[in-house]
Amino acid sequence: MTKLFLILSLFVPLYAHAVDDSPEKWQPTTLSDASIKKIQTAKHQYNQCISKEITGLNIGSLDVRDATHHIIKSCEEKLSIIRQTFLDENVSTLLADRYLKMSRTQTTRTTLKHLMFLDAAKKMGYPGAK
């Protein structure tokens, strides 16, 4: 039993060393303050566009999923500014696209929840819902 323990204890440091020496070490990207400000401004404009579309939307017979899709697609051009800013700062396209996908997903979820709430309030006869 002790021989087995001794043999296993020798393999653990070797495995840990092999895992630690990855061929690619992660290097953080550094964005300039101007680029960060530009990304924040574009993200704010994107959120304002979504809010304006939700406010101006007349759900009527439209399904909330279709309405969400319409809203997200109508504000899509605001996100291209963010992607271009990332590419100008030499951020890889993989990271830029991952950030944009995360932003779209979060915004889509929030918009869908909001429209579902408005639809339910409208069906319940809530006076504030259009």
Burial of 85 (0-12, 13-18, 19+ CB in 10 A): buried
pTM listed for this prediction: 0.71
Give per-residue pLDDT as tens, 75-84.
999 899 999 9
DSSP state of 33: H
Q: What is the pLDDT of residues 16-57, one digit of tens each?
A: 555 555 566 766 667 888 999 999 999 999 999 999 998 888
**The pLDDT value given to residue 58:** 74
Q: What are the C-alpha distances in Å from 66 to residues 91, 97, 123?
A: 33, 24, 18
Q: Distance between CA 127 and CA 130 in Å, rounded?
A: 8
Q: 71 pLDDT band (50/70/90 cuts)?
A: very high
Separation of alpha carbons 100 and 113, rounded Å: 20
Distances from the Cα of 20 to the Cαs of 23, 27, 34, 51, 130, in angstroms? 9, 15, 36, 46, 58
One DSSP character per residue, 38-51 reads HHHHHHHHHHHHHH
Please check the confidence at residue 3 and state whether its pLDDT lies above 70: no
